[in-house]
Amino acid sequence: MRIPISFCAGALVLAWAIPAAHAQDAGPQQATVAPPQQQGTPQQQGLVERTLQDAAAYYTAPLRWNGQDWEYFGGALAAIAVAHHYDTQARTHFVSGSQSPLGPRESGEITDALPSAALLLGTWGYASLVGSRAGEGEAWNMFESAGLSVVSAYALKFVIRRPGPDATTDANSWFSGGSSFPSEHTTMAFAIGTVLAESGNPEYRWIRRTIGYGVAFGTAYLRMKHNAHWLSDTVAGGALGLATAHFVMDRNDQREDPSDSGLSLVPVQGGVMIAFSKSFTH
């Protein structure tokens, strides 16, 4: 899945450090003039520019969808619809034996987000420790995927306003002032977990996928166990996070692919012409 399932507009806002300007002492009775402050290092500026470009492409992606992209979108909607059919049964399984008809109120807002945060911070910390540029890029892909998808998740919550299973027993209650659909914890977990699972050395792919998707599915399970979300909420969040991660990774692969652009010499009458080629897919 290359293109994210997104219905909303948004932007990922980043902050970057501004280095202090250094001035040399010109001696007594002579004024010193500090050079103009630079807005971040070139690497930081490039990262910000890249992220803003990705955000613009992400939120306008449906305008460029092809037939395959619409098939992915339809498949995601079908999976959500099937999950919705079993919302009540799944809820009954998790709240059975509860003293309250609405089930337990264990939000798990912080604890359920810790595994995803550990993956992101662990990847970034280890990459920084060993000086791995590839690892730092992977961590940034995790951060960007999580940021873009969670912004979309919160926008969808605002529009759909579905009450959670701890607020109603009616799985068909929509546009009723809630904030359950989709699950932002599951969205973030699949965004981060998918980047971990599908990046890095293929030799360790099975380990990466076990950890990445294990954390993602485990987070979805915890959100239902804590009676915070319906089954279809987690399926929608998983689809959104998974698709966003692949979108970000595909964009990054296109930047690093040397065959995507280049200079060539084209024979013409009386000599040669230098030609530059560049492919744009988004």
Residue 179: what pLDDT?
92
Q: Is 64 helix (H, G, I), strand (E, B) or coil?
A: helix
Q: Which fold has domain 55-253?
A: Vanadium-containing Chloroperoxidase; domain 1 (1.20.144)
Residue 63: what pLDDT?
93
Q: Is 63 helix (H, G, I), strand (E, B) or coil?
A: helix
- Cα 62 from Cα 13, distance rounded (Å): 22
Using the CB atoms, write b or e for 141-159: b if 16+ within 10 Å: bbbbbbbbbbbbbebbbee
Q: Are 233 and 219 in contact (CB under 8 A)?
A: no
Cβ neighbours, 10 Å, residue 221: 14
Q: Are 69 and 5 in contact (CB under 8 A)?
A: no
Segments in the chain forming alpha helices (H): 42-59, 67-85, 87-95, 114-130, 133-160, 184-198, 205-225, 231-256
Residue 163: what pLDDT?
95
Q: Are 220 and 189 in contact (CB under 8 A)?
A: yes
Residue 122: what pLDDT?
96
Residue 271: what pLDDT?
55
Which residues have C-beta within 8 Å of that of residue 38, sequence separation ≥ 6?
A: 18, 19, 21
Residue 228: what pLDDT?
93
Average pLDDT for consecutive 10-residue bins of the chain (282 residues)?
37 28 36 45 66 92 93 96 96 81 74 96 95 93 96 96 93 92 97 96 93 97 94 98 96 72 50 51 44
Q: Are 57 and 11 in contact (CB under 8 A)?
A: no
Residue 21: what pLDDT?
27
CA distances from 8 to 100, 148, 278 (A): 36, 11, 29
The continuous run of DSSP H or E covering 275 comes out as strand 271-278
Q: Residue 223: name the closest of 187, 190, 185, 192 by CA.
A: 185
Q: Is 200 helix (H, G, I), strand (E, B) or coil?
A: coil
Residue 274: what pLDDT?
52
